[in-house]
Amino acid sequence: MLQSQLFCKTKKETPREAISISHKYLVRADFIEQTISGVYRFLPLGFRVLKRVEGIIREEMQNLGAQELYLPALQDKSLWLETNRWETIDPPLFKLKDRHQKETALGSTHEEEITDIIRQRINSYQDLPVCLYQIQNKFRNEMRATGGLLRMREFLMKDLYSFHGNGKDLINFYQKVKKTYFKIFKRCNLKTLCVEASSGTIGGELSHEFMVLSDKGEDKILICNKCLWAANVEKTGEIKKCPKCKGVLERRNAIEVGHIFNLGTKYSEKMSANFRDKEGKTKPIIMGCYGIGLPRLVATIAEVHHDEKGIIWPKDVSPFNIHLIKIENSLKINKLTEKIYQDLQRAGVDELRLSSLFANARVVDELRLSSPFANARVIEVLYDDRKEKSAGEKFADADLIGIPIRIVISERTLKRDSVEIKERNKKETKLVKIARLSHFIRNW
Ligand SMILES: [Zn+2]
């Protein structure tokens, strides 16, 4: 993509309301923009990151064997009355009346909807287990929505629901989801801790949160310095000693990036979602639900990966793979940079495009293997071709936007038939011969 065509206006000023690093940089780099409290527009660069995170999550959900569906945000009041959550859920629902005075709500979660779908379709133990997920907007009527994308009132969320005939089957699946979650966060270059958590008004018997340690986190967790047992303070209260090994507990702030629940029969009993077991006995279906808020995940990545100049995106979630920058405007430089720009893009398979065409990760893998670039990396290039910007302005924008590799072409590098390469997370630069460039990039 040519940067002269990119819809992005970086800013020098920090937004006044920004209290977190991620908020400050995401606004300054023109990834996002707040409209009203807790509601954000995603501009093209921000939307690219969101889509890449979504791609990782979708791939891992497919690997787990979950099927994707889509449920509406606008939900019928009657379903919420069945579970008695119309008035009690916290934070409260955004409620609406249509022109016929019929009451609806914008969904903050979808247990009622999904249980309604299941009870109409599951009859026997032979129909179980089932796991379904969606990536869809949620609405939460938060008292306080600050911290940019860390706490929002409308946000994209992946919610997965599983349905089982017995508790053991649910526990097995719950453990599998835990592994999948660790993998998703690792692909986003985040170190997470899985902690025992309070289930709130989603409810159920047991829940775990995935936490990223950060001073900006709103959650307080306790970690045992001996056995590494960890829990949210909401769950345990202010205890001093580890309940597992009596070790000393350390108190830390953390950002919750995922939450998984063993719901047991909380919803199936209230909504009569039953099945017949092997002996023909009618029993309530056992449920689990598993959520990841996508914008918060994006913000957490920026919260962890940045320096004093801007964001440092991990490779797998960066809006582009390479930032190509030309410094002078001679005919020779223009021609050569254009050629390098074309060559770099051809050197890779465009994973983003493949993933969006084929929801199934296996299809993407097969295509990749059958392509002439079987071993090539995915390469999307942002080419700073802007004529009116100085070298200093281009570098400042590049650091702020945070693409992991920067390639610079100037008269100085050309004298040595080279380009200058700098990784965003390193201080030093290196010269690489132009003839070796594609090779260098593929092996990076
Ligand atoms: Zn311990």
CA of 249 to the centre of ligand 1 (A): 8
214 to 46, 120, 195, 300: CA distances (angstroms): 22, 44, 15, 9
CA of 209 to the centre of ligand 1 (A): 18
* Tokens 């580890």, located at residue: 242
For residue 359, pLDDT over 50 is answered with no
CA of 222 to the centre of ligand 1 (A): 10
Question: Which of the residue ranges 119-123, 213-217, 392-396 would you say has the lowest mean pLDDT?
Answer: 213-217
The pLDDT-based confidence of 294 (bands split at 50, 70, 90) is: very high
For residue 201, pLDDT over 70 is answered with yes
The pLDDT-based confidence of 437 (bands split at 50, 70, 90) is: confident
Read off the pLDDT of each residue in 394-422 and give the average, rounded to a whole number. Answer: 96
pLDDT at 119: 97
CA of 228 to the centre of ligand 1 (A): 6
CA of 282 to the centre of ligand 1 (A): 42
CA of 188 to the centre of ligand 1 (A): 28
CA of 264 to the centre of ligand 1 (A): 27
CA of 297 to the centre of ligand 1 (A): 28
Cα 107 to Cα 126: distance, rounded to the nearest angstrom: 31
pLDDT at 198: 85
CA of 234 to the centre of ligand 1 (A): 18
Q: CB neighbours of 130 closer than 8 A, spacing ≥ 6?
A: 118, 122, 162, 163
CA of 193 to the centre of ligand 1 (A): 14
- Please tell me what DSSP assigns to residue 416: T
pLDDT at 97: 96
CA of 257 to the centre of ligand 1 (A): 23
Secondary structure (3-state) at 326: strand
For residue 353, pLDDT over 50 is answered with no
pLDDT at 438: 74
CA of 195 to the centre of ligand 1 (A): 13
CA of 242 to the centre of ligand 1 (A): 5
CA of 233 to the centre of ligand 1 (A): 15
DSSP E strands in 166-217: the ranges are 193-196, 206-213
Most confident of 116-120, 205-209, 360-364, 376-380: 116-120
CA of 230 to the centre of ligand 1 (A): 8
The pLDDT-based confidence of 382 (bands split at 50, 70, 90) is: very high
CA of 241 to the centre of ligand 1 (A): 8
The pLDDT-based confidence of 34 (bands split at 50, 70, 90) is: very high
CA of 387 to the centre of ligand 1 (A): 60
For residue 367, pLDDT over 70 is answered with no
pLDDT at 177: 98
Quick: pLDDT tens for 58-107.
999 999 999 999 999 999 999 999 999 999 999 999 999 999 999 999 99
CA of 221 to the centre of ligand 1 (A): 14
Nearest to 115 by CA among 88, 154, 76, 141: 76
CA of 213 to the centre of ligand 1 (A): 18
Mean pLDDT of the chain: 91
For residue 355, pLDDT over 60 is answered with no
CA of 216 to the centre of ligand 1 (A): 25
Q: Are 309 and 399 in contact (CB under 8 A)?
A: yes
CA of 231 to the centre of ligand 1 (A): 11
CA of 155 to the centre of ligand 1 (A): 36
The pLDDT-based confidence of 374 (bands split at 50, 70, 90) is: very low
CA of 138 to the centre of ligand 1 (A): 36
pLDDT at 378: 59
Cα 82 to Cα 112: distance, rounded to the nearest angstrom: 8
Quick: pLDDT tens for 236-246.
988 999 999 99
CA of 182 to the centre of ligand 1 (A): 21
CA of 238 to the centre of ligand 1 (A): 15
Read off the pLDDT of each residue in 117-140 and give the average, rounded to a whole number. Answer: 98
Cis peptide bond upstream of 129, omega within 30: yes
The pLDDT-based confidence of 147 (bands split at 50, 70, 90) is: confident
pLDDT at 373: 38
- Please tell me what DSSP assigns to residue 432: E
CA of 239 to the centre of ligand 1 (A): 12
Range 367-393 burial, b when 16+ CB lie within 10 A, else e = ebeeeeeeebebbbbbbbbbeebeeee
Give the number of other CB atoms < 10 A from CB of residue 137.
Answer: 12
For residue 110, pLDDT over 50 is answered with yes
Read off the pLDDT of each residue in 293-297 and give the average, rounded to a whole number. Answer: 98
pLDDT at 276: 98
